[in-house]
Amino acid sequence: MKILVCISKTPDTTAKIAFTNNNTTFSGDGVQWIINPYDEWYSLVRAIELKEQDPSKVIHLITVGAADTEPIIRKALAIGGDEAIRVNLDTHDPYTIAVQIAEVAKAGGYDLIFTGKETIDYNGSSIGGMVAELLDLPYISLATKFDLNGTTATVIREIEGGEETDEVALPLVVSCQKGVAEQRIPNMKGIMSARTKPLKVVEPVATQPLTGIVSFELPPAKAGVKLVPADQPEELIRLLHEEARVF
């Protein structure tokens, strides 16, 4: 069985965000880049757990990005991927990314494709669904538990107000979130072996982006705190009414 795990490069959550080129480009200066946590902690680790149950399974990693994504891919290989594929394209258009992943998946004949529920920078949660549509495969999103019995998957997913249990035959695309697996960190053996694991670079297929970034905006700065003396409730009421406009 072949498993394809989609990997994204995202800024660390503690990174200070800034924009350049008239607020049209994210500035990477001084930013610590990490594997998108939903990709690393849940989809990748669940794939590794499946392989531990059956060593005949093969785990391939895929990312769509420039050469600066390779340290992230090597870390994912150190955690447990067998080999990796980098599509040599720097884009933020979800459709373009999905097309590149789908083309590689189609050629590779994968039985199972895992994505994280979303990336922590754009929170789009769109790649998995588009990949499934492009491959004409079943898609289950927001998985909190994934089990495999032969070629049949049982997936528990989060829905509004509860959970849903689905049973579906492979091949399949699944987006994973908290609950599917527990976080792992690379050990020394994994780090050393990752240096020699295959990392194949492929050129992108031609496609027309459907979206483009017009501009970025930082959230407004938080207003300062106003202290109202306890013996002036009328001032508190005035501020709530005229400035906070809560009533």
- pLDDT tens, residue by residue, 98-148: 999 999 999 999 999 999 999 999 899 999 999 999 999 999 999 999 999
Spatial strand order in the sheet of 112-116? 162-169, 152-159, 139-149, 172-176, 112-116, 2-6, 58-65, 83-88, 199-202
* CB-CB contact of 55 with 170 (8 Å): no
CATH code for the domain of 83: 3.40.50.620
Burial 193-204 (b: 16+ CB within 10 A, else e): ebeebebeeeeb
Cβ atoms within 10 Å, residue 60: 21
Asked whether residue 40 is assigned to any structural domain, the reply reads: yes
User: What pLDDT score was predicted for residue 221?
Assistant: 80
Strand 172-176, strand 112-116: pairing: parallel
Asked whether residue 207 is assigned to any structural domain, the reply reads: yes
For residue 79, name the pLDDT band (cuts at 50, 70, 90): very high
* CB-CB contact of 84 with 73 (8 Å): yes
Asked whether residue 231 is assigned to any structural domain, the reply reads: no
Asked whether residue 227 is assigned to any structural domain, the reply reads: no
Rounded Cα distance, 59 and 77, in Å: 9
Is the bond preceding residue 186 a cis peptide, omega within 30 degrees? Answer: no
User: What percent helix, strand, coil does the chain show, rounded to 5?
Assistant: 30, 30, 45
Asked whether residue 13 is assigned to any structural domain, the reply reads: yes
Give 18-63 pLDDT, tens digit per residue.
899 999 988 988 899 999 999 999 999 999 999 999 999 999 999 9
Asked whether residue 199 is assigned to any structural domain, the reply reads: yes
Asked whether residue 233 is assigned to any structural domain, the reply reads: no
For the question of whether the overall pTM of this predicted structure is more than 0.85, the answer is yes
Q: Which residue has the higher pLDDT, 133 or 222?
A: 133
Split into its structural domains, the chain has a count of: 1
Rounded Cα distance, 159 and 143, in Å: 10
Asked whether residue 245 is assigned to any structural domain, the reply reads: no
Return the structure tokens found at 35. 């594997």
Strand 83-88, strand 58-65: pairing: parallel
Q: What would the DSSP string read from start to end of 2-48?
A: EEEEE--EEE-TTPPP-EETTTTEE--TTPPEEE-HIIIIIIIHHHH
Tell me what the pLDDT averaged over the chain comes to: 94
AA letter at 5: V
Domain span at residue 49 reads 2-216
